[in-house]
Amino acid sequence: MSKHFEIIVGTMLGASEYVADAIAEKLDASGHTHTIHTEPNLDDIKTDATWIVCTSTHGAGELPDNIQEFAAQLKGAPLHTVNAFVIGLGDTSYDTFCFGAKEIEKHITDNGGTLLADALYIDVLEHPIPEDAAVEWFEGQLDHL
């Protein structure tokens, strides 16, 4: 059965966008539909679709600039119909590894949303092409939907 996915991207240097594009290709090949949001706004994102949030962490553990407003919109929003996957990109040499993804996860679950799987945290030191690790992980998740 075909599903619709909302792919929400938080990126500063483009790596999360590459991950989102690779996931979108996998969805296309599997017969699913998707919308990619590089300037996410909660008003434009279907809460009855499955979300895939791909975000990096910037600076001292902050979300990238393009997703900060979206994160603020999640606070207090009714997300009980949201089912989500979270993919975080980070660098384990920082003690704020994947804090951006963890912040998004918290906003989703604190407001009634459901994570369909434990988040994937990709260490870019270990996976210099993070989209490969993300697609491999996501293929396993698609099998369970």
Q: Is the pLDDT of residue 70 over 80?
A: yes
Q: Is 63 left (phi over 0), alpha (psi -120 to 50) or beta?
A: beta
pLDDT tens digits, 94-108: 999 999 999 999 999
Determine the average pLDDT of the residues in 14-20.
95
Q: What is the Cα–Cα distance from 79 to 97, expressed in whole angstroms?
A: 26
pTM for this structure?
A: 0.95
The predicted structure's pLDDT at residue 1: 77
Neighbours of 136 (CB within 10 A): 12
Helix (H, G, I), strand (E, B) or coil at 39: coil
